Structure 1
């Protein structure tokens, strides 16, 4: 299945969830405004490509799990953009949710996108043990032990000189946990052996670090058209970033090393099981910065 079709099926799964039972139409409008704003859909694509790499035919349930992950991610973006957080006017090339619908509805849209994913997974046609594992891991990756905790640490680190270890702790939670989720979720859905799951988890963690280093670099060097949001926000907020701590060139070198390590882990998976990583490799290679 082509990636564009996968993206469309993920969006369809989310839209169907909200259209099935609409209680507050304006809330749904606000939610779908941010969902349908585009984006690369990296997280859901990673999950779907992983399932196919192991030879799994994709079903509606898989798109629901992928959609649930995208919902949490989009909800986090809505809240990140609020005046009390990063205070941004644009996201994915259009007005942020609170600029379009007001702060009150944006907050509630983010709340919905944090809570609804668990219901969508719970109603999917997967074994109950698999659903419990997926819900538990998504909760752990998203809440006070993962993404939300990372956001708090990130805010507390503004205007401070953090160590590299402190910075890695922030981003392992704020960004890394949701990027590692597709790899852990694939292991649960396919009920893979423990050694394969461990390699997948390591791969997800490496990719999460690489993605954040890349994001820090792009915030410094890319323009609005490339980012779809205001550039150099980290610089203005005096946040500790990889370029700030290591320098730009050293950060680029770190990105390359982490992406190379991801490739090595993919090769290890190929060596021990029936795994066809071509599509995953293409997604990972797409994260390299040229020039």
Structure 2
């Protein structure tokens, strides 16, 4: 797939500062790492990971070899993950501009080291090319709803800023809404103003929960007509991230006593496959 990468220059980096990994020390509440990661195709991708302990968030960002910019924001307080994709258009197929999609789903707090620990992470050799210790495989997400940005604060206060360019191409799932409702003791009905069902059936009436997936919509892979509605597939992989803290045993204050202390991190790789409705196959040319 060819890409016009020149269009993308303004989106690739956000004020990066090279810092020194692997030892957890006392540091300010903000931290940033630049990590060189070798992906499964053998290419080296540069990830920028920023932590904000005050907001209790971590942002991971990288640009794929095809020009796609992937931004992952983890909101630990609300157990929300936002995965944004900015994909360049294919000019030879009539796409002169880029597309932005946001996918919002539940994030277990223990799936990534805390924002505080992340803000204190340093690397000894910034030029080292890293590979993850564990591959967690692929998670499939079939998205049920569009998230309306002006009401999205009930899910996470960070959605409106991160997903502003995506607009109505911001998606979530019924099962995630149910989890957040249980975690925060918020009635399911309170989420309704923030959600819009996909308008893909003529008998569309309301946003009632739960959502009943429609039938008869084909995958975009099988579509020849570029103006036909279909279900798009988009896979995004996070090639390297600190998924867990490692603890070591040390001698305690008294004889024969021991204490546990943080002595490093475990790193993981994970892929997410998103399936979501689009009004035209033209919006999903990569799914072929």
TM-score norm. by structure 1 comes to: 0.29
In terms of fraction of residues, the more strand-rich structure is 2
TM-score norm. by structure 2 comes to: 0.29
In terms of fraction of residues, the more helix-rich structure is 1
For the pair shown, which has the larger CA radius of gyration, 1 or 2?
2
